[in-house]
Amino acid sequence: AQTVTQSQPEMSVQEAETVTLSCTYDTSESNYYLFWYKQPPSRQMILVIRQEAYKQQNATENRFSVNFQKAAKSFSLKISDSQLGDTAMYFCAFMTSGGGADGLTFGKGTHLIIQP
């Protein structure tokens, strides 16, 4: 079974700063997908960024980028020029490529607070 660990329960930074959220995972699979989801107070989970394990290039979506270290099983999220609207719970998630038999496996989440 896969496990996802987010070691930072809560983080707080000032607006416009850069922040990095940590995620490590454990799997014996070689092909899989990694995701970062954001859950604001509205409760809706929103996909922030995804990474295919077979791609060495780190994924980037505007102010969001990842540092994917496959050997270390590490998948951190960097948010540049943070904005008040980035305040939310952030979940790291894992899915195998074999049909997603176990669905998404989520970490416990990091509560990110952006201070004005």
Q: How far is the CB of 3 from another protein (least distance, A)?
A: 11
Amino acid, res. 84: L
Could you tell me the smallest distance in angstroms from the CB atom of residue 75 to another protein? 15
CB of 107 to another protein, least distance (A): 7
Query: 77 or 95, CB closer to another protein?
Result: 95
Q: Which is nearer to another protein, 7 or 18 (CB)?
A: 7
**Smaller CB distance to another protein: residue 17 or 61?**
61
Which amino acid would we find at residue 110? Answer: T
- With b meaning 16 or more CB within 10 Å and e meaning fewer, what string describes 38-77? beeeeeebeebbebebeeeeebeeeebbbebeeeebebbb
Identify which of residues 44 and 57 has a Cβ nearer to another protein in the complex: 44
The residue ranges that bind another protein (CB under 8 A) are 33, 37, 42-47, 50, 91, 93, 95, 97, 99-109
CA distance 66 to 50: 9
Q: What residues contact residue 103 under an 8 Å CB cut-off, 6+ apart?
A: 95
In angstroms, how far is the first alpha carbon of the chain from the final one? 41
CB 46 to another protein: min, Å: 7
